[in-house]
Amino acid sequence: MSQIPQAVRERADSLHQQLDDANYQYYVEDEPRITDAEYDTLLRELQSLEAEHPELKTPDSPTQRIGAAPAERFEEVTHAVPMLSLDNAFDDAELAAFVKRVADKLECDGDTLTFCCEPKLDGLAVALVYENGRLVQGATRGDGRTGEDVTLNLRTIRSIPLKLRGDSIPPLIEVRGEVYMRHSGFEALNARARENGDKVFANPRNAAAGSLRQLDSSIAAARPLEFCAYQVARLEGEDDAHSHSDYLKRLRTLGFRTSPLLDVVKGERGVIGFCHRLGEQREGLDYDIDGAVLKVDSLRDQRELGFVSRAPRWAIAYKYPAQEQTTTLNDVVFQVGRVGTLTPVAKLEPVQVAGVTVANATLHNMDEIERLGVRIGDTVIVRRAGDVIPQIVGVVESQRPATTRAIEMPEHCPVCGSQTERLEGEVAARCSGGLFCPAQRKEALKHFASRRALDIDGLGEKLIDLLVEREWVKTPADLFRLEAKSLAELPRLAEKSANNLVNALEAAKRTTLARFIYAVGIREVGEATAASLAHHFGSLQALSEASLEALEAVEDVGPVVARHIHTFFRQPHNQETLEDLQGVGVTWEEVEIAGRPQPLAGQTWVLTGTLENMTRDDGKARLQALGAKVSGSVSKKTAALVAGEAAGSKLEKARELEVEVLDESTFLQRLAEWENAEENQ
């Protein structure tokens, strides 16, 4: 290693320190003491020293924020502590109810309770992990359980310390916060983009989200991203915090920006007061907020309150009333869903609502249209609540032109012309065309090919449209009969893509029973239900033969879903499709059976007599799920006979052949044992 002159090393250390301090003053204290130009001068000096003496370059040097070599893809990160969502409150009454709930649960006076309040920035949540003071990982929220590793992009954000400050640096800390973009930064970025003829971002949130998703972190480095910390998710080492606000103070000493607007208040009045004050300041802020987050400050109280399913009971997100705009309802078209449901979709004159252009909005069903009293040509009020789906919430009747037209449920399907019908007790009307209707066919195929079903790579919406329109594909099984040669004739699909698709289809043939059940699209059978059906019955055969009672015995399956499943398997054309699919080579490993203990594999059981607590079908299904065969007559090969009330000749024969006989209660007990053993494996 070459010798670095002492003076150079000292100068580099000093520059490093000065730059860190400047960042801290600028981003955390909001009090810059040097100008941007001075910062740049210092940074350049450090860069040149590091260029001369590469040993000076450390990963936490301020020069190392410029971005690194492009990544291949983002790695998946599992959050050690899940990133939960919060309950929402939309008005004072709901805030008051929250305070009361907390006070009741803690059995204390709500007025004495302390809450820590801060604005809810409109950006993206990320989690930063520091080990021994160094930033080692930064991840997006994802679904709360797992997110993506965007460390390299986060490192470019100057308000994220690469190295923690101060002298009480914990061995491990995970800091949660929001990555966002200020209006000023956003405007400057878009101005630059406009000059270069690049496309501009729709709003600061999308700009921030887009920037974090750049594989090339040098692009992220050029984006004016900022970070504001709001939570300590994990902390090892010294921890003398008693409240959430203690943690926020600690975060500041460690070098994080926390919200300058945060406040600690008491009781319902304090909480409501904070939200009102924040509302008044909102317009003047240089960044978007979509509300406030209110947390019970005391950590002991937080622990006592605990969680309700996915959300902590000790916090709530106050959301500002959703933004609304008026626009014209140009038309209503009826979309045909997978099972023929006709959904009215509003075609709107495009309008900006809360930073995005809204041109479509669902009207759900005719009841909703009636409730709104909306007509084509009306001026309507469109709302986009925070980030959810746009809704039409009302009509400006005073602005109704003379030319409006009523919205009527078409008598014939707009796609296939079949009669539409609205069944007793259902909100939605349906196209009666079934799979004769190209729209239903397309939707069914889309579902069949989707990721959570058979996951056919490269088979997207446009291609399905084409295949159905040319009548190359009518049923899912037809997909597997497609040939690369003919596929290549399609527009935008040459040899390469055609081969890829055929290969993808070939790969998709090997699936699981659960995916298969989900893919065939039985009404009301989603991913979860499909999985429990697969688990419960173990084979398509057992499922298709299951009685209503046996189906209802499955967890989460009620009478309605049971009926749908039962009906599905009794329709000849469905049976044909299922057979056809297996015929063209769709298979699944009997993992559902083979992959788990099968205590009864190879055994033949017989059920007889009347069972009190279950039907024979149900018993049969449960035995089959455990690997047993169930037959109707007792022989010397019979492993056991389950005898209910009034068992007759079979019981006699079993005794004769010395076959084990179980009464109902013993049987139920054994079943439960076997099934539990399975769960616990």
Partner DNA sequence: CCGCCTCGAGGTCA
Partner DNA sequence: CTCGAGGCGG
Using the minimum distance from each CB to DNA, give the nearer residue, 293 or 565: 293
Going through 244-355 in order, the beta strands assigned E by DSSP cover 263-266, 289-296, 307-308, 311-312, 315-319, 323-336, 342-353
Stretch that binds DNA, among 142-150, 234-242, 434-442, 523-531 (CB under 7 A): 142-150
On whether the CB atoms of residues 61 and 16 are closer than 8 A, the answer is yes
Residue selected from 13, 36, 40, 495 as contacting DNA according to rule CB under 7 A: 495
Using the minimum distance from each CB to DNA, give the nearer residue, 489 or 590: 489
CA torsion, points 525, 531, 537, 538, in degrees to nearest 10? 140
Using the minimum distance from each CB to DNA, give the nearer residue, 108 or 494: 494
Stretch that binds DNA, among 96-104, 494-502, 554-562, 635-643 (CB under 7 A): 494-502
Distance separating alpha carbons of residues 112 and 108, to the nearest angstrom? 8
Whether 347 is catalytic is: no
DSSP secondary structure letters along 441-498: HHHHHHHHHSTTTT--TT--HHHHHHHHHTTS-SSHHHHTT--HHHHTTSTT--HHHH
Residue selected from 20, 148, 592, 617 as contacting DNA according to rule CB under 7 A: 148
Residue with tokens 């204290």: 29
The DSSP 8-state label assigned to residue 28 in this structure reads I
Does residue 337 touch DNA according to CB under 7 A? no
Stretch that binds DNA, among 12-20, 137-145, 292-300, 611-619 (CB under 7 A): 137-145
Tokens of 457: 């790579």
Stretch that binds DNA, among 47-55, 98-106, 135-143, 270-278 (CB under 7 A): 135-143
* 424 HSE (CA, 13 A, CB side): 0
On whether the CB atoms of residues 501 and 458 are closer than 8 A, the answer is yes
Distance separating alpha carbons of residues 552 and 560, to the nearest angstrom? 9
Beta bridge partners of 174: 129, 234
Residue selected from 325, 497, 603, 631 as contacting DNA according to rule CB under 7 A: 497
User: Three-state SS string across 346-410, please?
Assistant: EEEEEEEECCEEEEEEECCCHHHHHHHCCCECCEEEEEECCCCCCEEEEECHHHCCCCCECCCCC
Binding string, residues 246-265; x marks residues near DNA by CB under 7 A? --------------------
* Residue 60 DSSP SS3: coil
Residue type, 314: W
Site for DNA in 338-357 (CB under 7 A): 345, 356-357
Stretch that binds DNA, among 274-282, 311-319, 456-464, 523-531 (CB under 7 A): 456-464
Stretch that binds DNA, among 128-136, 160-168, 298-306, 457-465 (CB under 7 A): 457-465
Using the minimum distance from each CB to DNA, give the nearer residue, 125 or 407: 125
User: Three-state SS string across 475-487, please?
Assistant: CHHHHCCCCHHHH
Residue selected from 214, 302, 365, 638 as contacting DNA according to rule CB under 7 A: 214
| Least CB distance to DNA at residue 76 (A) | 8
| Least CB distance to DNA at residue 468 (A) | 12
Using the minimum distance from each CB to DNA, give the nearer residue, 117 or 361: 361
Distance separating alpha carbons of residues 561 and 524, to the nearest angstrom? 6
Using the minimum distance from each CB to DNA, give the nearer residue, 289 or 546: 289
Stretch that binds DNA, among 57-65, 396-404, 454-462, 650-658 (CB under 7 A): 454-462
| Least CB distance to DNA at residue 220 (A) | 9
Beta bridge partners of 641: 606, 661
On whether the CB atoms of residues 480 and 577 are closer than 8 A, the answer is no
Using the minimum distance from each CB to DNA, give the nearer residue, 268 or 290: 290
Does residue 362 touch DNA according to CB under 7 A? yes
On whether the CB atoms of residues 241 and 247 are closer than 8 A, the answer is yes
On whether the CB atoms of residues 65 and 158 are closer than 8 A, the answer is yes
Residue selected from 51, 494, 507, 672 as contacting DNA according to rule CB under 7 A: 494
Site for DNA in 411-430 (CB under 7 A): none
Residue selected from 133, 147, 433, 538 as contacting DNA according to rule CB under 7 A: 147
Does residue 451 touch DNA according to CB under 7 A? yes
Task: Measure CA 499 to chain center.
Answer: 32
Binding string, residues 499-518; x marks residues near DNA by CB under 7 A? -x------------------
Using the minimum distance from each CB to DNA, give the nearer residue, 263 or 290: 290
Residue selected from 213, 400, 523, 670 as contacting DNA according to rule CB under 7 A: 213
C-beta neighbour count of 461 within 10 angstroms:
12
Distance separating alpha carbons of residues 238 and 172, to the nearest angstrom? 10
Does residue 463 touch DNA according to CB under 7 A? yes
Distance separating alpha carbons of residues 120 and 25, to the nearest angstrom? 23
**Separate counts of helices (H) and strands (E) for the chain:** 26, 26
Using the minimum distance from each CB to DNA, give the nearer residue, 207 or 543: 207
Using the minimum distance from each CB to DNA, give the nearer residue, 133 or 390: 390
Site for DNA in 165-184 (CB under 7 A): none
| Least CB distance to DNA at residue 506 (A) | 15
Binding string, residues 98-127; x marks residues near DNA by CB under 7 A? ------------------------x-xx--
On whether the CB atoms of residues 395 and 378 are closer than 8 A, the answer is yes
Binding string, residues 520-539; x marks residues near DNA by CB under 7 A? --------------------
* Residue 185 DSSP SS3: helix
Spatial CA neighbour of 335 closest among 362, 357, 354: 362
The helix or strand, by DSSP H or E, that contains position 644, with its residue range, turns out to be none
Site for DNA in 182-211 (CB under 7 A): 199, 201-203, 205-207, 209-211
Distance separating alpha carbons of residues 151 and 136, to the nearest angstrom? 8
Task: Give the active site residue among 120, 319, 446, 653.
Answer: 120
* Residue 117 DSSP SS3: strand
| Least CB distance to DNA at residue 451 (A) | 4
Residue selected from 458, 502, 547, 603 as contacting DNA according to rule CB under 7 A: 458
Site for DNA in 377-416 (CB under 7 A): 386-387, 389-390
Size of the site for DNA (CB under 7 A): 57
Residue selected from 166, 373, 460, 595 as contacting DNA according to rule CB under 7 A: 460
Distance separating alpha carbons of residues 338 and 224, to the nearest angstrom? 44
Which residues does the annotation mark as catalytic? 120
Interface contacts to DNA, rule CB under 7 A = 72-73, 122, 124-125, 140-143, 147-148, 199, 201-203, 205-207, 209-211, 213-216, 290, 345, 356-362, 386-387, 389-390, 451, 456-464, 491-498, 500
